[in-house]
Amino acid sequence: MYNQSEFGNLENYLLEKKYSENTSCEQIPDVHIFTGTVEYKKHRFKTVSLFLISIFDEKFLEIMSKIFVLLCITIALVTTINFLDNETLDWFYILGIMVSLVPLIISLCIQNVLEYHKDTFCRKCGNKLACEEIGEPVLKEKSNFGDYTLTVTRHWKCRCCGNVDTREGPENIFAEKGEILPAIYLKGIECKKCSLSGTVVEFQKPDIKEIGNKRITRRYYKCTLCGHENICESEETINSSAHACGL
């Protein structure tokens, strides 16, 4: 799981960095860059993936995935058309829709197999199921007022030729910018430096990301009187009540 931390202004960050090995924050004009760690990649249907990859090549699996998607659409369309023409009963329509989901589920499973194939394929020696993840995966977050992006860097080592491949990507982690809180919600917040209330504002839209079943919100506060900045994170379990983030 991503290592969370709170950072004040740049001076406070430099002091905290001395004691923190797993999390860091780089602050350049109008941009904040956070670096943390994530877990090793977990593959679903690993046993099925090993079986299919050992028999079929990547191209064949891609074609099969598309065929099952088309089959799903075809069954759903035929069932719907027959139902609209009053040629089928309600229960038959429901059954047809349920049957159409089967090839869709199979297609999604094949997509997971393809992902496992891509991760374990060695780009140097061309061997399948040859790479394993090594080192510590790094999550890099880049945030400014209106944009928020995530990049995960992983290292894969081939058991056959020893080549180490570094790969970067967003990995479908949900990330977006939130909305700045109305001023009325900020009146009770006390500045950590000058201890005055009612002087804190949000100087940047909050960052929101979802990892696993956790939604993490990072807000950027600044005191209009002394200029102190405080970056605060709150975490909530998805579909559960949020934990308040105090300053």
Distance between CA atoms of 35 and 143, rounded to whole angstroms? 12
Going through 48-121 in order, the beta strands assigned E by DSSP cover: none
pLDDT at position 247 is 41
pLDDT at position 88 is 57
Whole-angstrom CA distances from 181 to 199, 201, 205, 221, 242 are: 14, 9, 9, 11, 15
pLDDT at position 238 is 80
Q: What residue spans define the domains of the chain? A: 10-37+131-237, 46-120
Is residue 153 helix, strand or coil?
Answer: strand
Q: Show the tokens assigned to 20.
A: 């923190």
pLDDT at position 148 is 92
Is residue 184 helix, strand or coil?
Answer: helix
* Edge-to-edge strand ranges of the sheet holding 229-237: 174-177, 200-211, 214-223, 229-237
Distance between CA atoms of 4 and 21, rounded to whole angstroms? 12
Q: How many CB atoms neighbour CB 154 within 10 A?
A: 20
Across 106-115, b (16+ Cβ under 10 Å) vs e yields: bbebbeebbb
Extract the residue ranges of the chain whose pLDDT is less than 50: 1-21, 240-247
pLDDT at position 25 is 62
pLDDT at position 28 is 60
